[in-house]
Structure 1
Amino acid sequence: MPLRAGEVNGEGKNEETLPDHDDEKQAKTALIELKRRIEDAIQGNCFLGKPDGSNVCQDETSKAIGKPKEIKLWGVPLMPNEPHAGTDTVLLKFLKSKNYNVHDAFENLKKTLIWRKEFKADEILEERLDPEFEKESYFNTIDKEGRPLFANVYGDLKSEQNKRLNPEEHYEKFLRWRVQYMEKCIKELNFELGGADSMTQVIDWEDFHGLHTREFRSVYRKWWTLLEEHYPEIIRRTIILNIPLWYHVSLSFSSRLITHKMNANTIFARPGKVTETLLKFVSPENLPVEYGGLKRVDDDEFSPEDKATEVNLKAHATEEIKIPAPKAGVKIAWDVTVVGWEVRYKEEFVPDDEGSYRVSLQEKEKKGEDKRSVRNVYYINEAGKIVISVHNYTNKCRKVFYRYKTKPTAPVYRSMSQK
């Protein structure tokens, strides 16, 4: 069965299950100690503190009646004496980020709760932020392990960066938008056993020159710091697309944008390797067509459950994909994508009756810059087959992914091609 957001592959374990073998005992001991410290702090109504490190009681009324105020993080209660299926998962994230040092994890958790209160992170989903940012992000798919995948496309900031990013007051708007989007994505996570409790982040730098400015680097560093400190282990992997070669080299020798720890789970893809890189982590059915996949917005023909078939296309070779059409009165829809493209592409209907004519559906040369898949629909009025020919005229091997679907329908007397 296909995976959905909130489900994972394997043995039904979260990313933050306890380590195996020698580390398991240490991790269990650390988790028990952290829960004890949290319970003591909550019972004393002094879990939340000020940024200077001093503790303040949350609620004198609740202290007087002996009932501490409930504290939640990402919707998960942190009260150890009122077990919740996701509590251990959340606490293990803080422990893991601090190498299971209980004191450091406890202090980080407190600082996170203080920051959320001051930043009003729990109310940020209700805020109406700059609508221009909405077109630079989308979240509608999952990776191969069933983790939610969200993407930020910064190219549109190029023309408006002077208006929206250069003034200092707009930096805060940018940070609040990033936090708001992070909170939206966390709503899609499942911290219970067997759930997808982390996500994949995609950042697209195509046509974005604001990255080169000192001002944007400063605000972006601040965002990465917030991410590491207050969302530990929430981002499982970051994939940065369309990174310039010179910047890739510079990042190899410095950490101006991301910390060493974030670097460990960061993948860079230069412009010519975008689709190839993404397909290592996202299935073609869940990869948007803008990046060479098969997923379209509001698709009424296919869904992610309609799996694609993979074909290896050798250099300077032609591969034929044959879609059977054994009877008339049906509609056949198909999707085809080639990783990297740079091929000659041809579609035709070949009837079984040798006395009938072949029907040419489309023929084109697809360049690498045109990443979108080919979608076509054809009404079958006699038995035959759809033959798709893909000729690779380059020295590189290619991968082809295709899928098709047949269903009864009223006749359509022309093919409908969606480039």
Structure 2
Amino acid sequence: MAVELKEEAVEAREAPVPEEKKLEEPKLVAEEKDSAVPAVERSSSFKEESNFLNDLKESERKALIELRAKVEEAILENKLFKKEKEQEEQKKPKEKEEVKEVEKADTEEAQEAEGGKAESCLAQEGVEGEAEPEKPKEEEEKPETLEGEGGKVESDVGEEQKGEEVASSEPKTISSALKEEEEEKSETQQGEEEKVETDVAAETKGEEKASEPKEVEVVDKEVCLWGVPLLPSKGFESTDVVLLKFLRARDFKVKEAFEMLQNALQWRKEWKIDAILDEDTLEADLGAACYMDGVDREGHPVCYNVSGFFEDSELYHKTFGSEEGRKKFLRWRVQVMEKGIKKLDFKPSGVASLLQVTDLKNSPGLSKKELRTAMKQVVELLQDNYPEFVARNIVINVPFWYYAFSAILSPFLTQRTKSKFVIARPAKVTETLLKYIPVEAIPIKYGGLKRENDTEFSAEDGGVSELIVKAGSTESVEIPCPEAGATLVWDLTVLGWEVNYKEEFVPTDEGSYTIIVKKGKKMGSQEEAVRNSFRNYEPGKIVLTIENGAFKKKKVLFRYKAKSCSKEC
């Protein structure tokens, strides 16, 4: 069934702004310019760079080639997780040094103890020697007779020693001398053979120890990050896209970009990030605080962060009141990031970043120290391990305390990250979001037309129309219904509202009565989009009337569709 708009409404529409001009628009909203308090420093000139090699500068291309070579070498030589190995190697020498120091200390103590004992013995002998008179030689040569069997044994041992001394003083015969020499040689040869055997055994053990890591060590050429192979020689275009993210995050400084990549991989291994998407318990508790919903005008998945979710004191203390709760919060936030990355395409022509929308309405604010600390940790975590994953960061419903918070947060943000910020006060939320997100993709609570689990409208139903209502004037949208037995459904929203609005069905037959679908009402600035439907039993038209009594023009956004019910009838 043909549905026509009133001519006045068509003439009043504004021509759509070209995409190129939208990208060149300043990123500061009107109230930001007028504000005397600076927010997070940002630049209006930020534009997302191309991932095509031909679009890179010569210096950037060289940096990419150099980083490729470093990653290739690190993977083939198993040095990509170098940081972890270095930590283990650093621990071993320290342990050895500690053991050596302990042994050295024990040895010194033992030596000191022995030295002290020897000195005491000498002292005792000296004292005794002075006290006792010298004995004649005859008495010294005579063996002392000791009482008991012990004394007898000692005297016998003394006599045997004297006998050996006398025997050794006698001249040796030639045969006995030769025999002794042969015995000494054989003992020397035997000692050398044993030494050689021990050296060979030691070398064999050393070789076995040296060969053990080589047998266990396996080169993992399938190292991936976000599902993208990191080995450049595999020839995937997506590998360059990932490497460019780390290079841009470090201003194309190859060494720093490589270290950042290593640290990110190490962190993912320690946190077991590859398994984080399977943890359903995180989303069950905190899913409403941060979620992915729709895409922007350039195809970036949109991530909404709702700070007001933690306004509830019980929920706040459950989340941030303990170390376990704070860790769970961080892990949940990383899980949301990983879900968003799943929606990305790392091809040079694909979309490889997200759009962040942070809603500060009803946020606990600066009085909550735990929240400030947690948010700072989230920023550091995402900035260190997810480089260049945010195309734009829009902060909406900004209260005055945010400017103080941004001053605290600013030192932890890179200049490149700051350049992506867009700030919007409550009165400019919908207007700001519309610059980046289509109205049909903006949730109704932010002035858009998107509803959860919507079964009425889809992308196939066509786009959204616009109507400008000048200050102090009245405009209307007419939806013709030339045939009876149809159901009309429509959505309508006015940016900033503050207008009088009503809905009527006007029959074609002049003798029929006009039916009031929705009584006239003053719509406040916080109103959500209107959705209504009407089934006509005679030909006519639906008339939506907007009366603007303000001193500024108003933009009306609407869409509609007709559903035939002939089969039901």
Please report the TM-score for the alignment, with normalisation by the length of structure 1: 0.88
**Change in CA separation of 1:38 and 1:185 when aligned onto 2, cut-off 3 Å:** same
What's 1:120 paired with?
Answer: 272
Aligned ranges for residues 399-410 of structure 1 at < 5 Å? Answer: 399-409=555-565
What's 1:107 paired with?
Answer: 259
Aligned ranges for residues 15-54 of structure 1 at < 5 Å? Answer: 15-18=49-52, 24-50=57-83
Does the CA contact (< 8 Å) of 2:366 and 2:405 recur in 1?
no
SS in structure 1 at match of 2:439:
coil
Does the CA contact (< 8 Å) of 2:51 and 2:349 recur in 1?
no
Aligned ranges for residues 312-331 of structure 1 at < 5 Å? Answer: 312-331=468-487
Does the CA contact (< 8 Å) of 1:150 and 1:201 recur in 2?
yes
**Change in CA separation of 1:231 and 1:262 when aligned onto 2, cut-off 3 Å:** same
**Change in CA separation of 1:195 and 1:55 when aligned onto 2, cut-off 3 Å:** farther
Q: What fraction of aligned residue pairs are identical, expressed as a percent? A: 41
What's 1:244 paired with?
Answer: 399
Runs of 5+ consecutive residues of structure 2 not aligned to the other structure = 1-18, 21-47, 90-212
Cα distance in 2 between the residues matched to 1:61 and 1:153? 52
Does the CA contact (< 8 Å) of 1:45 and 1:68 recur in 2?
yes
SS in structure 2 at match of 1:293:
coil
Cα distance in 2 between the residues matched to 1:257 and 1:318? 50
Aligned ranges for residues 64-75 of structure 1 at < 5 Å? Answer: 67-75=219-227
Find 1:174's aligned residue among 313, 319, 329: 329
Cα distance in 2 between the residues matched to 1:52 and 1:220? 32
Cα distance in 1 between the residues matched to 2:57 and 2:296? 28
Cα distance in 1 between the residues matched to 2:58 and 2:317? 54
**Change in CA separation of 1:291 and 1:310 when aligned onto 2, cut-off 3 Å:** same
Find 1:281's aligned residue among 418, 433, 436: 436
Q: Does 1:223 align with 2:378?
A: yes
Summarize deviations over 1:160-217 as a string: whole Å, max 9, x none: 2123213233211111010011001100001013211101011111112155422221
SS in structure 2 at match of 1:33:
helix
SS in structure 1 at match of 2:330:
helix
Q: Does 1:85 align with 2:85?
A: no
Find 1:140's aligned residue among 289, 293, 300: 293
Cα distance in 2 between the residues matched to 1:316 and 1:61? 84
Cα distance in 2 between the residues matched to 1:392 and 1:256? 45
1:140 maps to amino acid: D
Runs of 5+ consecutive residues of structure 1 not aligned to the other structure = 1-8, 414-419
| Equivalenced residues, count | 396
Structure 1 vs Structure 2 CA RMSD: 2.5
Task: Give the drift of 1:129.
Answer: 3.4
**Change in CA separation of 1:410 and 1:55 when aligned onto 2, cut-off 3 Å:** farther
Please report the TM-score for the alignment, with normalisation by the length of structure 2: 0.65
Find 1:153's aligned residue among 294, 303, 306: 306
**Change in CA separation of 1:53 and 1:382 when aligned onto 2, cut-off 3 Å:** farther
Summarize deviations over 1:336-393 as a string: whole Å, max 9, x none: 01111111111111122211111110022211122x2111111122222111001122
Task: Give the drift of 1:52.
Answer: 8.6
Task: Give the drift of 1:106.
Answer: 0.8
Task: Give the drift of 1:259.
Answer: 4.5
SS in structure 2 at match of 1:281:
coil
Cα distance in 1 between the residues matched to 2:323 and 2:493? 43
Does the CA contact (< 8 Å) of 2:398 and 2:423 recur in 1?
yes
Does the CA contact (< 8 Å) of 1:248 and 1:268 recur in 2?
no
Cα distance in 2 between the residues matched to 1:411 and 1:348? 26
Cα distance in 2 between the residues matched to 1:408 and 1:291? 32
Bigger Rg, which one? 2
What's 1:233 paired with?
Answer: 388
Find 2:342's aligned residue among 162, 167, 187: 187
SS in structure 1 at match of 2:452:
coil
1:234 maps to amino acid: F
**Change in CA separation of 1:256 and 1:43 when aligned onto 2, cut-off 3 Å:** closer
Task: Give the drift of 1:55.
Answer: 8.9
Q: Relative contact order (alpha carbons < 8 A, sep ≥ 6): 1 or 2 greater?
A: 2
Cα distance in 1 between the residues matched to 2:568 and 2:310? 43
Find 1:309's aligned residue among 442, 451, 465: 465
SS in structure 2 at match of 1:406:
strand
Cα distance in 2 between the residues matched to 1:319 and 1:249? 43
User: Higher mean Cα deviation, 43-52 or 67-76?
Assistant: 43-52
Task: Give the drift of 1:401.
Answer: 0.3
Task: Give the drift of 1:62.
Answer: 7.3
Does the CA contact (< 8 Å) of 1:221 and 1:256 recur in 2?
no
SS in structure 1 at match of 2:448:
coil
Cα distance in 1 between the residues matched to 2:458 and 2:76? 50
What's 2:508 paired with?
Answer: 352
Cα distance in 2 between the residues matched to 1:301 and 1:62? 60
What's 2:228 paired with?
Answer: 76
SS in structure 1 at match of 2:545:
strand
Higher helix share: 2
Task: Give the drift of 1:109.
Answer: 0.6
1:340 maps to amino acid: G
Task: Give the drift of 1:279.
Answer: 1.0
